[in-house]
Amino acid sequence: MKGLILLANGFEDTEALTTRDVLLRAGIEVITYSINSNRQVESSFGLTLLADKPFDLIPSNIDSFDFLILPGGGRGTKNLSENRNVHDLIEKFYDRDKLLCAICAAPSIYGKMGYLKDVRFTCFAGFNQGYEGIFTGEEVVVDQNFITARSMMYSVKFALAIIEKLLGTEAKDKVLIGLQGQVAK
């Protein structure tokens, strides 16, 4: 399994980094891409980091990827949503029935693109306005090819839901046991 996380200036630290960490613990390959012209990206709390690759190195053929993750953060979501290349990439994933994941404010991007019309979803309060969809307000929602989470508080649950969708309950439970500081029996 392999996926990518898009990072825009203003991305929410925990949503991106915790999700990445938990997925890696499951043996899932995760590549971070900066939507900037270089690898450098700044988080919502001023952490400057280098993404694995700049956006222009995303292959035009996305068949080798299984999922796409959009972390939230108000400014990060705004920067993702205003980038035409991001919309084009999301459309490719959607058209190929690949897994689309988003947390906090970021599910609004899928919603405004019209992809959540008949989908149950959740997001940060107030970011469920201006588009169609079945807003639940739950912590994490898995419906069709979408996984959404309400806020950074649920980053671990979000990542575990992605693991379960991709690799099954046993893989999710194994990672969860390790996260809880236990040894698998």
The helix or strand, by DSSP H or E, that contains position 41, with its residue range, turns out to be strand 40-42
Catalytic residue, chosen from 51, 58, 104, 161, is 104
Distance of CA 140 to the CA centre of its chain: 12
- What gap in Å lies between CA 167 and CA 103, rounded to an integer? 20
Taking each helix axis from N to C terminus, what angle separates 169-179 and 155-167, rounded to the nearest 10 degrees? 150
Residue 104: active-site member: yes
Structural contact between residues 16 and 32, judged by C-beta atoms closer than 8 angstroms: yes
Q: How far apart are CA 92 and CA 115, in angstroms?
A: 12
State the CB neighbour count (10 A cutoff) for residue 30: 21
What is the C-alpha separation between 163 and 124, in angstroms, rounded? 22
In angstroms, the CA 32 to CA 50 distance is 9
Residues with a catalytic annotation lie at 104
